[in-house]
Every structure is written in structure tokens, then in C-alpha cells.
Structure 1
Amino acid sequence: MAARRALPNAHRDPASARRPGRQQSLGSWRRLAAIALSVAAAALAYAPPATATPIYPIADPDPFYWAPGDVGNFAPGDVIRSRPMPTGAYAGATAWQLLYRSSNSANQPIAAVTTVLIPAGGGLNRPIVSYQPFVNSLGMQCAPSHSLFNGTMQEAPALNLLLARGWAVAVPDHLGPTSAYGAARLGGRLTLDGIRAVKRFPPADLAGSPVGLVGYSGGGMATGFAAALAPEYAPELPIVGVAQGGVPVNIGKLARDVGLQPSPLFGLGFAAGIGLEREYPAELPMERILNPAGWALRDQVANACTQEIINAGANKGFNDVFYGNMFDADATTIRILHENSLETFPGVPRVPVYEWHGTNDQVDPWLAREVMGRYCASGTPVLLDLIPGADHGSAIFQGAPRAYGYLSDRFAGIPAPSNC
């Protein structure tokens, strides 16, 4: 078992909590969160007056995804339509996709999709795990509801491990109907409304099920926000535990830490800037700061999935695609970054949390430790698992089995351990 350090009950100077890390290899796309979100935050730091138009993805050609004209007449979490799905990759399971009502960051009604997988034997109010994958894309074809069934989801083997425990698994398209990559608070809301939809869908037979949340990296951001939003947004949901790993808790500070150097994964951060612009079109326009190369890159990745985005932006830097001072943030930009960063979001989970992080992660583990300390001070049981020597790419494999065991104990009613 990895070393588990006691958490502080109050904030410390972040500088005193920092530890030097070794230079990280960026060869694996699983290490994308650090560069991706830092580039996004810096790219949006200069926010001129809103006169531009965001570049939205091509609509999904499948009409199942289309919101009806009366979407606003449904309550958040209501199922609008459903369909069964083939389950070749998930032997013995039954699967449905649900289109449900939620709201975007401007509180406007939207329709979103979640996929629910039920182990053999049916629902029977068995535990539900809402699994938020790390999705780092701008095209609708890249959403989990597609990648679950076409063989492109990297985390698909984990879902079979959860099904093997007898749990139902809900997988929301937590980037929403415009693939707003980077909008973490939206991801939390979509996660909670997706759970509501699964519990309200009679064929699933999960209305009385307890709920656990799990996600890593970008999926951990959606998971963390779901946990922090739940006490006020969805207090009726019987969430018993949360497991989140490698979570970037402040994308603005991540931008400061990583800096302006070119990166093999620059395109992912640029894409996250596009995603945030989609979610806040009147407040975070990018067009006024794009140079001609930036315009070309924007057009090239607007409907792309992860690897295409990585290839298009490889080894670029801010000066290659932007005009202006990327770190001269105005009040509007700061507010939006705070709204989408767990460190500065005021909500606190009211259920037990397991947070795991590699000590050599480029996504600052010591800043995550401070956030968990704030949760502890608010009375939330937290188990922080700092994995010695692990970086962002390797920590997921070491922490995930512990995360599943942690949720299993919460479903069994075992008191939650804490190192607050």
C-alpha cells in the first residue's frame, strides 16, 4: 500500500508544500491533463470584448442525440428518449443509452447522453458506479457513448472490472452536446443529471440503488465537481462515496506552473481553450487573439478526437498561435477559471472521498492535498493516497484498484477511513 500522509486541517503556503519533481516524459497521451489544461487557461487569460463566434462541432448525425424543441419542459435528469445497445465488449451485460435533460453553464436547458451497463441478472437496485472517462476531444464522434462501442475508449477494460463486481455502470458524455472540453463544472452537473436519468429509467431497475463516483484526470475533474455540487444540486441522490485521481484542481495555477514552452501536447490545451469558449461564448472569445496560424489550427481541430488534436498541435507554443499577453487575465476570465477549478469552487462534498495522486505528477499533487485539507476541515472524511514516484500516466494503474475497493467498502456500509 502506498504511503498515506495526514492531511492538514487548514491551508498552508502552497510554496512550502511543493516538492521538486523530475522531468516527466510526455510520450504517453495519458499524461495530457497537465499540458492540456494549462494551455487552455493561459490561452483564455486575455479576454477582449465579445464580438466573435465560437467554433462549434459538427452535430452528431444520429438523431438520437438531438434535443427536442420542448427540452425545457423536462426536469433535470428526466429521460427524453432511450434505446438498447449491443454489448459485445461487455459480455453478459445489458446496455441502454438515455437522452436526458440537463442545463449548461448559463442555466439554459440542454440534452445530454449517458450509457448504462447492467450486469447479468438485471438491475435489482444493485450499486451504480458513475464512471467519468478522461475525454479530451472536440468532435461529437469522440464522446463516450460512441467510444464505448467502437473500441476506441482506453478505459473500457475498467468497466468490465466494475461489472464483474456486480455493479451497474453509468458513463455520461460529460463534455455535453457541444463537446465543451475543459468546462469541468458542466461535467459535474451532467454527471449528476445522468445518474438521475439512470435511476428514473424503469427498465434499468435501479431506482433504489446506492451510487458511487469514480474518474481520473479530466474524468476526475467531472467526478470532483459532481461530488462538490451534489449537496445543493442533487441532494436526493444516495451517493455513498467518491474516488477521484490525478485531478487538476486549479487550471489557472497549472498554467503558471507549466509556463510557455512548446509541448508535444500543446494541441490538447488549445482544444480545451476552444471547449471553454464554447461553454462561455459571450465571455471567452478566442478569435481576437488568434494569429493566422491559430486560425488554421482552430479549424483543423474543431471536430477532432484526441490523437488528431495531438498531431495537429505537436511542439507548438503560445507565441505560435496567439497574439497578446497570455497571462494578463481579466476579472471575467479569472471568475470563469475559478468556477471550473475545485480549489476555488466553494462547494464541498458531504460524502467520503478517496483521492489518489502520484508524487511525481505534473498535475500538482500538493495543491490537491490542500483542497483535500479544506474538505477535511469541513468535516468530510478524506483518504488521500500519495503514490511515491508515480507520474500522471502511471498513477492511474496503481490507484484504480484501490479506488474500486474503496467504493466496495462504502457500498457495504463500512465506515470510511480518513487521514484528515
Structure 2
Amino acid sequence: MNLLWDGPGRLVNLAPRWLLGAAGAVVLALGILLVPRPLSSAAVLCLWAAVSLALTGVLDLLGRRRDAGSADRRAARASRPAWIGPAVSVASVLLGVAVVVLLRQTMAILPIVLVAALICWGLVRARAALHRSSSPTARVLAGSLGVSAIALGVVAAWWPDLALVLAGAAFAVRTVVGGITLVARAIAPGQRPRFPRRPAALRPVLRVIAAVLVVALAAGGLLGSLRLRSGTPELTDFYRTPASLPADPGVLIRSQRYTTDVPDGVTAWRILYTTTNADGSPAVASGIVAIPSAPGSGPHPVVAIAHGTIGIARNCAISLGGSALTEAAIPAMKQVFANGWTVVATDYTGQGAEGRYPYLVGQSEARSTLDAVRAARELTPLTRRTVVWGHSQGGHAALWTAKIAARYAPDVPITATAAFSPASDPYDLARKVLASGSSLSNIVTAYVAASYTRIYPDISLEQYQNPAASVLVDQAARRCASSPDILVSVLSLSAVSHDRPVFSADLGEGALADRLRQNLASGPFQGKVFIAQGTADEVIPISLQRRFVADRCAAGQPIYFREYPGRTHMGILAAGSPFPADLVGWTRQAFAGTAKASNCR
């Protein structure tokens, strides 16, 4: 039984010419419409398979009734139980109905079906290469096709979102070809296109060329995939949660020397410690503690760093990779250690350590930050002066740290907070980001929706995403923003940019909107607050930050706000930007008690 064409093919053979022409025109128009819309095309592919399954089953049943007395049918029934044929036909109809009813689940397993089809077809072709009755070049081509199909099946298993997009694109092209074929059959029934026969002497050469091209394509896909996958770090036993946990938050569970790209004169540890989730349940988090050997040998002030968006998967943890002690992770890093400040940088829960990652969930982000400082005190003497830094998502976490510190961790008083390009209002930001429709905005939205689904029981990711895009969203949420494999999500989501929206529901309504509003970093804040923003920020518009600062000032909360003309979201930290020097200078003044507290108007 041909899954896609058996049932419809039988109807085509019975249709009059005028109906063939009309059907061909419709199919051709549909194919042209689907070519730039691979996600919709994949959904239509599933529906087409459902229709074909149901039609094939129905036609088989009708055929059995019509031919029940034929000699062939009687011979077939004599060789097998009579119930098998009708049972298969009924199962075909039921499977077709199930595909339609469970379209979301069908879309989710479509890449698996594609992987299985490629590998099975590859095995069949590889077996054909063993037939000695074929010519040597034909066997080489069959073997090459078989091995290449198996390799492409492995690639599709590694990148199910890209496989889904390519399957949709291939079906769209096949639909265009099918429409043209139907129109041609209506115009000239019984005529088949004639192509000049290839000279017999060229056939072996062409087969070898085809084999080389196919193998090169498969090898390129396989090697490229291996390279993309090699950039993601793997979790180690250090991050394993112990069988029993201390009852109190902020307790150091274990530590391990961190030795990758550590600056001269700095000693660093990777730490695992206890904390609490937003709902008050116990949790574990990891992080980095870096201590300068100079100046001074006494207790050091603390710069607690809350990192920005890097993904929501466990293996995205900054402490796991080799970039924890670089300028990319610590702005003005050399000046930080030159001033004798100890760096305490949390991964938050769910990154590195087991747990639920709190992307833009203020309570959890802040608790991880405060408890990291508590745990660091068990490694080295620290003063009670702490300044919190955070960029983007980390800016949101930093503001929340200053908001809850007095209540949650009175033993970790916050001297000051510097939030640069902070995601201060997740609700307004979510609406703005989603409206852009870019692949990067869809990745960020996937992080938010997936994280909130795991943390808040009243939110379900399925409520907000396009069913056809479930595979793309799931894969984006599994990848780290700084890992090479994020390129696959960018490509997949870019390919569907002209298709139906990845998120079909309005994130500004319902339970998700309520939770986003709850995570507004509204203050009041402990200590002084410095908010910095580039006027050309393409991720968090300057208008949103101005409104947030104006609201805080109107509520009587002192904010020192500075704008950096022409600076983008990352450009505010780039070489040549005046902000890093301003940040270090303001922090030095904050530790001395002389930092400017407000420029509210």
C-alpha cells in the first residue's frame, strides 16, 4: 500500500478529463502556495496522508465487496484468514482518522517517521547492492544511495526541526509536480513525456557521478552535524544532586577548582549549593566564585553577577563551559579583579544543577543569586557589602535581587544594583518581541513559554504555540544561545518566517500574561539602583525602559538612569563603549557610599 498516493491514485484513474484538469489546477495552486510555507506544508502532508489512508481503506473494502466472487479473491482467501484483508482496510481508515484528530501529535512524530523511512529505504538499497545480477556500477550506485540514506536518517534524528521543515518543503515541490502532471494528463491523456535515451556507454559513468554526488551530500550533512554538536558541553558528576540536602538555603554542597582561562592572580571555584524555588520548595543551584589575590588580603567586597539569556537547558550553564571568567561573562573583568572585588556568579536553578530553569521568573532568579553569595562565604571571607550586576535577563534578576533581599536574605544586604539593558517588564517585552516575528524573537519566546510551563501549573505551552511548530519550539528550548547548534533553530525558524506564526495565541492574554505581569521588577529596591540602556537597543526598546524608569520614579523609588546614544543590546558592553568604565566607577563609589542615587525628574 502506497501511503501517500494509493487511494487518491485510484480515483485519478477513474476521473474524467475535465475533473483531472480542475483537480490539477487546484493542486498546482496549493503547491505554489505551500512552497514558501514549509510548516503549513508539513501539516498538509499529514492531512494528505490521513486522506490517502482513509480512501485506500474504503476503496479496498468496496473492492472486496464488489469482487467477492472472483476467482482471484477466492484464491487469496484460501491462502490466508478471511478477516485479515478487511481488518487491514478498517485499520487504514481508523489510522487516517487518528492522524486528523491527533494532528499535533502526528506533527511531533513526523520527523521520527522520516528518520525511519530514510533508514529503512537505505537498508533496502544497501541490500540491493549485494545482488550479483546487477552491473558493478548499478551496485555501486545502490550501495551509495543506501549508505547515504542511512547517514541522512541519522542527521534527521539529530535535527528533527530541520528535518520537519525540509520534509514540508519537499512535499510542497512534489505537490507542484503532481499538479502539473494532472493538468498534462487532462490535456493529453495517455501521453507520457519522452526523453532521449542515454547512450549505453555513458550509463556507468553517470552512475558513478551520481554515487559520488549522493555520498558527498550525505557526508557533508553528517560532518557538519558533528561539528555543530561538538560545541555543546556535557554535564559532569559535579552537578549531580545528592541524596540528602541541607535544610537551609545558601549552604555549600560541594566545590571544585575552576581552571579554564582563569586570569592571573585569580583563584576560582565551581560551586553547588542549596536554594529555594519561587514556590518555596528546596532546590539546588550551581555557580562560580572567583577571588583576586590582590589588592589586600582581608575579606573582599562582592560583585554578584546574574547572567543574561544563554538558553534554558541544563548544559547551558556558564560554570560548565570555559567562558565563565571572560569579558563576555564579566563586564570590565580586569578592572573588577584589580579593584579587589570577589565575583560570585550564579547559574540559577535548572542550569548545571537539576531543577526548573526560571527564565524571567524573578523570585527564583533572585534567590539563586542571594544564596550563591551565602554559599561563597564558606569558601572565603567576604564583607557584607554586595553589589549586583546583571545584563538583559540578568538585569531582571538583579532588580529582583534588590527587591527581595531584605525579606529573603537579610544576612546579604545589597549595597547597590546595576542593571544594564534589563528585561525589567517581561509582559511588555514579550508583546514587543513576539510582534517582531523574527527567528531570534521566536527562540526567546520559546524560552519564556517553556520555562513558565515548567514552573507555573496554570500554563501549558500547547495553549500558545502553533501545533505544527511544536517540534521547532521544543528543539529551540533544548539549545543554548551560545552553542553552534542554535544555528539550526535560527535556520528552521527563518525558513518558516513567511508561514503561520510559530506562536498562534496572544501571549499578552490569559494565564501567561498574568504570570508575566507578576514578574515585573517593580521594587522597592534595597540599596542604590543604576539602570543603563542603549538608545539603539534592538531587543529591549528604549521606550520600554523609559516607561519603566518613569513608573518607578513616580512611585517614589530613586533610580539613577543613563542612556547611551547609538548603543545596541550588546553594543553597550562592546569595546569602545563608555558604559563599562561608568559601571566600574559607579560600583567603586557605591562601595564607598558616594554613588549617585537618583536622577528622577
* TM-score range relative to shorter protein: 0.7 to 0.9
For structure 2, which runs of at least 5 residues remain unmatched after alignment? 1-104, 106-231
Asked whether 1:110 is paired with 2:289, we answer no
Residues 222 and 92 of structure 1: CA distance in aligned 2, closer, same or farther (over 3 Å): same
The equivalent of 2:570 in structure 1 is 393
The equivalent of 1:418 in structure 2 is 598
Answer 1 or 2: higher relative contact order, Cα 8 Å, separation at least 6: 1
Residues 323 and 224 of structure 1: CA distance in aligned 2, closer, same or farther (over 3 Å): closer
Moved more, 221-230 or 396-405: 396-405
Please tell me the residue identity of whatever aligns with 2:263.
Y
Asked whether 1:231 is paired with 2:409, we answer no
Q: 1:309 aligns with which of 482, 486, 495?
A: 486
The equivalent of 1:409 in structure 2 is 589
Residues 378 and 192 of structure 1: CA distance in aligned 2, closer, same or farther (over 3 Å): farther
* TM-score normalised by structure 1 residue count: 0.75
Q: 1:172 aligns with which of 343, 346, 350?
A: 346
Richer in helix (by share): 2
Q: 2:541 aligns with which of 364, 387, 394?
A: 364
Query: How far does residue 289 in structure 1 lie from its aligned partner after superposition?
Result: 4.5
> Take 1:415 and 1:105, find their aligned partners in 2: how far apart are those partners?
32
The equivalent of 2:519 in structure 1 is 340
Residues 415 and 215 of structure 1: CA distance in aligned 2, closer, same or farther (over 3 Å): closer
Query: How far does residue 304 in structure 1 lie from its aligned partner after superposition?
Result: 1.3
CA deviation map 1:348-377 (0-9, x unaligned): 112111111122324133433343344445
Q: Equivalent residues in 2 for 1:15-414 (5 A)?
A: 61-71=235-245, 73-86=246-259, 88-121=261-294, 124-149=298-323, 154-156=328-330, 158-174=332-348, 176=350, 177-199=355-377, 201=378, 203-206=379-382, 208-265=383-440, 266-280=442-456, 282-307=457-482, 308-309=485-486, 311-313=488-490, 314-315=493-494, 316=496, 320=500, 322=502, 324-327=504-507, 329-330=509-510, 332-342=511-521, 345=522, 347-362=523-538, 363-376=540-553, 380-397=557-574, 398=577, 399-414=579-594
> Take 1:232 and 1:412, find their aligned partners in 2: how far apart are those partners?
24
Query: How far does residue 254 in structure 1 lie from its aligned partner after superposition?
Result: 2.2
> Take 2:309 and 2:297, find their aligned partners in 1: how far apart are those partners?
27
Query: How far does residue 148 in structure 1 lie from its aligned partner after superposition?
Result: 4.4
Residues 136 and 185 of structure 1: CA distance in aligned 2, closer, same or farther (over 3 Å): farther
> Take 2:509 and 2:380, find their aligned partners in 1: how far apart are those partners?
47
Give secondary structure in 1 for the equivalent of 2:453: helix
The equivalent of 2:214 in structure 1 is none
Moved more, 285-294 or 349-358: 285-294
Give secondary structure in 2 for the equivalent of 1:235: coil
> Take 1:96 and 1:395, find their aligned partners in 2: how far apart are those partners?
29
Query: How far does residue 211 in structure 1 lie from its aligned partner after superposition?
Result: 0.7
Moved more, 288-297 or 263-272: 288-297
Q: Quick check: 1:267–1:309 contact (8 Å CA) kept in 2?
A: no
Query: How far does residue 151 in structure 1 lie from its aligned partner after superposition?
Result: 8.2
> What is the number of residues matched between the two proteins?
355
Query: How far does residue 326 in structure 1 lie from its aligned partner after superposition?
Result: 2.1
Give secondary structure in 2 for the equivalent of 1:102: strand
Please tell me the residue identity of whatever aligns with 1:171.
A
Query: How far does residue 210 in structure 1 lie from its aligned partner after superposition?
Result: 1.1
Residues 142 and 327 of structure 1: CA distance in aligned 2, closer, same or farther (over 3 Å): closer
Q: Quick check: 2:405–2:413 contact (8 Å CA) kept in 1?
A: no
> Take 1:322 and 1:120, find their aligned partners in 2: how far apart are those partners?
50
Query: How far does residue 87 in structure 1 lie from its aligned partner after superposition?
Result: 5.0
Look at both structures and tell me which one has the larger radius of gyration over its CA atoms.
2
Please tell me the residue identity of whatever aligns with 1:162.
V
Identity, % of aligned pairs?
28
> Take 1:68 and 1:78, find their aligned partners in 2: how far apart are those partners?
13
Residues 120 and 401 of structure 1: CA distance in aligned 2, closer, same or farther (over 3 Å): same
Please tell me the residue identity of whatever aligns with 1:102.
T
